[in-house]
Structure formats: C-alpha cells, structure tokens
Amino acid sequence: MQEVTGLPTIPQIWEALEGVKDPEIPVVSVVELKVARQVEVDGSHIRVTITPTFAGCPALSAMRDEIRSTLLGLGFETAEVSLKLDPPWTTDDLSQETLARLRQFGLSPPPKHGGNVRLVLDQPAACPYCGSDDTQVKNDFGSTACRSIHVCNNCHQPFEAFKPL
Amino acid sequence: MKADLKPDLASYLLAMADDEMILAHRNSEWTGHAPILEEDIAFTNLAVDEMGHAGLWYRLHADLADEDPETYPDRLVFFREAPFFRNIQMVELLRGDWAFSMLRQYLFDVAESVWLPDLASSSYQPLAETASKIAREEMYHLRHTQAWIRRLGRGTPESHRRLSQALDEIWPYALQLFVPQPAEEELAAEGLVPLKSAARETWLAKVEADFKASDLALPDGGEPPTTDRRAHSEHLVGLLTEMQSVARAYPGVSW
C-alpha cells in the first residue's frame, strides 16, 4: 500500500461515506446502516466493500453508484465497490443511535434477536408515534422488502417497522 | 473443488437462478392487479426479493463460468432465447388466479426452506455464503405464503375451491423441482450440493402439515411433465418477449 499526497486519509473517507444515505431511509448513512464494511486504499485506487441488507433491495445499486461517485469526487483515479455477503447483514449490528434515528423517522426499529429472528417475530412492534406496545401486524411486507406494516391500537396510527433480519 | 465439476456446478446454479428469475417475473405481473392493495405491495416485494436472489445465483454462475459477475447476469436474463433457459416449467405457467400464484410461490418457498440450509453448508464457500444470506430472507416469504394458504384453504367455499383447483393443476409441475440435475450425485459426493431426492421427502412432509391446517388433501403421486430443464411450455416464449423487450430494443441502455 502506498500513499499519494493530496488524497484523503482513511478516517476522512469514512466521514465522506457518512454523506451517502439510504435513499429509502434518508436519515441513515451507509456507514450507520453497516452496508459499507471496509475501505482499502492502494495509491490512487480505492476499494470499498459493501454488503446488501435484503438481497433484492433496489436501493443497493443506488447506494453503490453514489458510493462510487463520492469516492471519485474525493480525488481517487479509480474506485471499486465490491460486494461481500459473509457474514450476512443483520439488524442486530445497528447501533442504539441508529435505531433511535429510525424511530424518529417513523419506522419502528427492529428488536435484537441474537441470530434467531423467529424468537422475536411475534413480539409486537412498538408504535414509533406514541410508544405503545399494543399494536398489530397488518402485513409482513411493507413499501419495501425490509419493512412490515402495523397499526397502533392505542393512537390508531398505521406505521411501518424495520423487520429484524 | 475438482476442476471437472466446475461446469456441472455452474449449470446447477444457473438452474436455480432461472427458477427464481422466471418466477419473479411472473409474480411481478400482479403489480397493480392484486386483490387488495397491501397484498399488491407484499407480492411485488416478494417478486423483487426473488429477483435479487436470482441475481446472486447468476453472479456465482458467472464466477464459475469465468464471466464478469457484474455484466453477465444481464446478458443471461435479457439475451438468451427460451431453449437456453433452465427453469422448471412450473414457474413459467401463466399467473392464473390469486390462489394459483400464491400456491405456486408457497410450494417453491417450502422447497427453498428445505435445501437452503443444506446449501449453506456447501463445501464451495461462495455458495454456502449466498445460501445462508438468502435463507434469512426466505423465512419471511414462507411465513407469508403459508398464512395465505391457510386463509384460502379455510376461507370461503369459493377460495377453497379455487385453491384445490390450483393444486390439481400445479402439483405435477412442482414435482419437477426434485428431478435430479446432471452430475448431481457427483456434486453431492463432494459436499457441494444436497441431493434433491432426499429434499423431496422433507418437502412433502412440510407441505402435508400445512395442507392439514388448510383443509387441503395432499395429491397422490403424480409425475412431472418433463424431467428435462431444457424443455419448456409455450408460455416461456411470451414471458421472455415481454421481459426482454426493452433491453433488446435499446441494447446497453441504463435507466
């Protein structure tokens, strides 16, 4: 690995990646979402490794393109965004701060499941508006594959939840 | 992996990718037409998911075929003619009514729930990683389609009648899922893939349990319409004509 003067440092690159948001959830970045996993610089070439949330997520290619153009914008001559599936992406890796941001955005955050999603599937999603646990699932699939649709029995507000994965 | 097994594993993965891709496209025909809005959204998302899974299998296929995993999948999907697709006939059948499409997706989901965990322990690491990723998402598919089979089976006489009729039509086609693929025994002997014949028994047991809860009887026996994945019904041509039209009219276009 060699350094080229004028190019940003690794921490600066991570900071720039914080500017790339999930187009479906514009309050969280690809870094917070744990989609961007690794940054490797070799001279004026940069490689960022990403992992998909849900494999069919149409936002992935948008994020990929934006990551690439962000990297090129930082002055790198060539930028590669490579895909890695292992270990599989999981909502358990999201930080408390990210979960709180999802809630503010109106999405009920996914419960921790420790690797066994089935354990938490029948647990009611907390209403992101009034906080009540008295809610019911209306549909396992919401406006995107990663969301489910619920309704709150307390404030009667329909809402979406980020599914545990 | 033994080098001489590479083409066989590549073919095996192409078959899996084609099954998911064609099923996804058929199911996408419900977008804007499903019986209720929420289900329109759910079934569309399910189709998008299956298409994403097809994409992952195509990438693995490309790796083994020494092709570029970024561009080869599009070439396979949009520029192959019907005889070169390796999907089973079940997934290309016309979408039929809601019961037909739901039952087809359900039978496919159960099969995936049977072999994905086995594929996740494949001795070919990229295959193991992909299967383990897909298995996590498939759990949601099966949960959804299982609930619909119960709903239709125990709903009204009309929904039950339609589901039973769909079952009679689909059943033999579903059995093609378990027809061994070329060199499958050699691949299985190396720990690369599980044997389809063993999966069939587990699949039947799972389906039977769900059918009991849905007041449906498991059909007796039955034979798949063909055991050759190169053989297709006339419906595949129509599907491909639509699916490939934009890519062929404007080669290389991006949108």
Is position B75 within any domain?
yes
For residue A121, what pLDDT is reported? 85
d(CA A93, CA B150) in angstroms, rounded, equals 34
> Residue B98 has which token pair?
């809601």
Residue whose pair of structure tokens reads 């060699």 in the numeric block: A2
d(CA B19, CA B59) in angstroms, rounded, equals 15
Is position B255 within any domain?
no
Is position B222 within any domain?
no
Q: Which amino acid is at B102?
A: M
Residue A145's pLDDT band (cuts 50, 70, 90): confident
Phi and psi torsions of A55, nearest 5°? -60, -35
CATH number of the domain where residue B123 is located: 1.20.1260.10
For residue B250, what pLDDT is reported? 94
pLDDT for A20-63, tens place per residue? 999 989 999 999 999 999 999 999 999 999 999 988 888 888 99
For residue B18, what pLDDT is reported? 98
A56, A143, A165: residue with CB nearest B136? A165
Whole-prediction pTM: 0.93
Is position B221 within any domain?
no
Is position B99 within any domain?
yes
Residue A1 has pLDDT above 70, yes or no: no
Give the structural domain span for B192.
Answer: 3-215+227-249
Is position B29 within any domain?
yes
Q: What is the pLDDT of chain A when averaged over all its residues?
A: 92
How many CB pairs lie under 8 A apart between chains A and B?
73
Give CA A165 to chain center in angstroms: 12
> Residue B160 has which token pair?
């039950």
For residue A142, what pLDDT is reported? 85
Contact A88 B136 (CB under 8 A): yes
For residue A3, what pLDDT is reported? 61
Q: Which amino acid is at B125?
A: Q
Radius of gyration from C-alpha coordinates of chain A = 18
Partners of A90 on chain B (C-beta within 8 Å) are 136
Task: Assess B127–A contact: CB distance below 8 Å, yes or no.
Answer: no
DSSP for residue A54: S
Residue A4's pLDDT band (cuts 50, 70, 90): low
CA angle B213, B215, B218 (to 5 degrees): 95
Partners of B49 on chain A (C-beta within 8 Å) are 54-56, 145
A56, A118, A163: residue with CB nearest B51? A56
DSSP for residue B166: H
Partners of B134 on chain A (C-beta within 8 Å) are 55
d(CA B137, CA A141) in angstroms, rounded, equals 12
Is the four-CA dihedral B93, B99, B101, B105 of positive or negative sign? negative
Contact A85 B129 (CB under 8 A): yes
For residue B79, what pLDDT is reported? 97
Residue whose pair of structure tokens reads 């992952």 in the numeric block: B56
For residue A41, what pLDDT is reported? 96
Walk across the sheet containing A36-42 and list its strands: A36-42, A45-50, A78-83
CB within 8 Å of B42: residues ≥ 6 apart = A139, A140, A141, B144
What ipTM describes this predicted complex?
0.86
Is position B168 within any domain?
yes
CB within 8 Å of B131: residues ≥ 6 apart = B116, B117, B119, B120, B122
Residue whose pair of structure tokens reads 């209403």 in the numeric block: A127
d(CA B2, CA A102) in angstroms, rounded, equals 47
Q: How many domains does chain B have?
A: 1
Partners of B144 on chain A (C-beta within 8 Å) are 140-141
For residue B229, what pLDDT is reported? 97
B129, B132, B137: residue with CB nearest A54? B137
Whether A2 contacts A64, CB under 8 Å:
no
Is position B111 within any domain?
yes
pLDDT along chain B (255 residues), means of 10: 92 98 98 92 93 96 96 96 98 98 98 97 97 92 95 97 97 97 94 93 97 95 94 98 96 80
